[in-house]
Chain A
Amino acid sequence: MRKFIIIIFFISNLSYSQNNSILSDGVGINNSNPEAYLDVNGTIRLEHSSQGINKILIANSDGEVRWGAPFELTFIDGNLPLEGRGVTFTDTRPHYTKATITLEPGSYMLRAVLLINNAIALNYKQSFYLNAFLSDSSDSSNFSSDYLDGSAKIMGGTLIGPNTYGLIDGNVAIRNSTSSPKTYYLWVQLEEFKAAGSASATIRILDFTSKSWGENIFYAIPIE
């Protein structure tokens, strides 16, 4: 031990590149009494292709360590139509809402909160259910082909009379597998309910998805 210390004492820069060295009781760097297998009294620098600003060290199940980014949340805003240009619809066919979102390649959790306001107040015997979904086209109401496995495809909500307002509040997961940005189109379909014998409601949903409603949001968060 003494011999070893003397040998290295005069070395100011030591490059250690040999494999298969075993020090069963530990190594001290600037520390003659290591309390761990590797005990560094000073600074450590770990250069690796995974390094980056504000990254932290992450180990896998084999104890292998590399730098990784801590959890980070970013938002990608969708495009909602301007005030007065939202969709007003009166029947049960699927309608393109004019709301879109364009996403770079990758996977996303997409969230929509959309106010439902019928122009004519419903009575307590009338209600309807709206389902909103993503399509790859503004011309076709087919579900987008990019929904992730396990994701819902529909974001649903109700307006139940005599309420004036209802909400769609939901999220779905989607993956743009192409190599370029892709636009997704929000569609909506209506299903009506009423008590037997009562009149059908006059359904005219105002400015659906429009920016005119402060409640409306449509955004995506990267999840990969």
Chain B
Amino acid sequence: MKKILLSITCFVVGYLNAQVGIGTATPSADLHVLSNKEYIFTLIDSKVVSDNYVLTANDSEGKIKKEANSVFNTIKFLDLTKVAPKSLQIIPKDQTFTNFFVGDWISLGEDTSISLSHGRWAVAITSLISLDEFSDFVPDDYLITTLTIELQIIDSSNKPSIISVDVEGDKREIYNGRGSAVGALVFPTLKDILRGTIIINNPQEYIKDYYFAVRFILETNNHADSVTIFNSLKDLNMKSILDNSNENQVYAIPLN
């Protein structure tokens, strides 16, 4: 046996026309590895960047390669416990009246981001949306007014209007879903839930940070007091979106 092994080290190419055992003297397959160590073997190639590769046969010839796959990651949570309460302006002070107002996208900032490694992820978003600035109950005038809050995932916290290039579903422009999460306050309700699931496919071989942006859509339904309501809402701010409120969470589920 030793003679054979010494011969192997001397040649560039080894040819073993036999059943080969590594760690076992009684191989039961053409290559039989019996490992008592933490891992079975080590496969080094150029794709050594992040965890969770699976070994796949890439063609009919049975050649094996490492393929990044997020399925074997665990669910990832965004830690919102350190995110301070936010107060977001619903309507700019200089905005002229319209009974269907669509605001600009507003970034939730650097401190609200989720880091995802290579692969597809279902990012589930739940957030409290709250207007708590009414000292008592909602003025009668506000009825039949709806405030919709839309949320999207972005690549840069400085560019809130540009949806992440990794959002799957060909974006919001053609309204085929998976591009945004949404919630609405229908007055007199001052508290409700924004929720949705956005599919992210990170094609990079590195971990990427994703950020969030929201915008407000106000429908006043063109009744007698619409202008009054519109102008008074300029003094109100939206609270609780993806801050440390007890209702809030963002997590990502790995997909195959």
| Cβ distance B6 to chain A, nearest Cβ, rounded Å | 9
Q: Give 14 CB contacts A-B under 8 Å.
A: A1-B11, A8-B18, A13-B27, A14-B19, A16-B20, A22-B9, A41-B30, A50-B40, A58-B54, A71-B72, A131-B247, A173-B249, A193-B191, A223-B75
**For window 37-83 of chain A, which residues contact chain B by CB distance below 8 Å?**
38, 40-50, 56-68, 70-71
Give the contact stretch, choosing among A95-103, A155-163, A177-185, A206-214: A155-163
Is A124 engaged at the interface, CB distance under 8 Å to the other chain? yes
Given contacts A34-B13, A198-B140, 9 further A-B contacts (CB under 8 A): A9-B17, A15-B27, A23-B14, A35-B63, A46-B33, A151-B251, A153-B247, A193-B138, A195-B137
Q: Verify B80–A150 contact, CB threshold 8 A.
A: yes
Of A48, A158, A172, most buried by chain B (CB within 10 Å of CB) is A48
Pick from A23, A61, A151, A153: contact of B13, CB below 8 A. A23
Contacts of B254 in A (CB 8 A): 71
Shortest beta-carbon distance, B79 to chain A, in Å?
Answer: 5
Q: Enumerate chain B interface residues (CB-CB to A < 8 A).
A: 1, 3-5, 7-36, 38-45, 48-55, 61, 63-64, 66, 71-72, 74-75, 77-81, 124, 126, 128, 136-140, 142-144, 186-193, 195, 246-251, 254, 256
The reply on A148 being an interface residue by CB < 8 A is: yes
Taking a contact as CB atoms closer than 8 A, the residue among A16, A59, A173 that contacts B22 in the complex is A16
Q: Which residues of A does B touch, CB under 8 Å?
A: 1, 3-5, 7-9, 11-18, 21-32, 34-36, 38, 40-50, 56-68, 70-71, 109, 124-127, 129, 131, 133, 143, 148-158, 160, 169-173, 191, 193-198, 223-224
A170: chain B residues within 8 A (beta carbon): 126, 193, 195, 247
Nearest-Cβ distance from residue B46 to partner chain A, whole angstroms: 11
Q: Which residues of B contact A16 (CB under 8 A)?
A: 5, 8, 20-22
CB pair A12–B48 under 8 Å, yes or no, is no
B residues less than 8 Å from A62 (CB atoms): 42, 48
Point out the residue from B9, B10, B35, B251 that lies within 8 Å of A46, measured CB to CB. Answer: B35
Most buried by B among A11, A16, A44, A148: A16
Contacts of B138 in A (CB 8 A): 193-196
CA distance A66 to B139 in the complex (A): 64
Given contacts A57-B54, A63-B42, contact A169 B63 (CB under 8 A): no
Q: Which residues of A contact B52 (CB under 8 A)?
A: 58, 60
Question: In the assembly, what is the distance between CA of A47 and CA of B16, in Å?
Answer: 20
Report the separation of the CA atoms of residues A198 and B142 in the bound assembly, to the nearest whole angstrom.
13
Complexed CA–CA distance, A52 and B16 (Å): 28
Contacts known (A48-B40, A151-B249); A14 close to B4, Cβ less than 8 A: yes
The answer to whether B55 touches A56 (Cβ under 8 A) is yes
Given the interface contacts A16-B22, A193-B137, does A158 sit within 8 Å of B192 by beta carbon?
Answer: yes
Residues on the B chain within 8 Å of A60, using CB: 39, 51-53
The reply to whether A172 and B249 form a contact with Cβ atoms under 8 Å apart is: yes
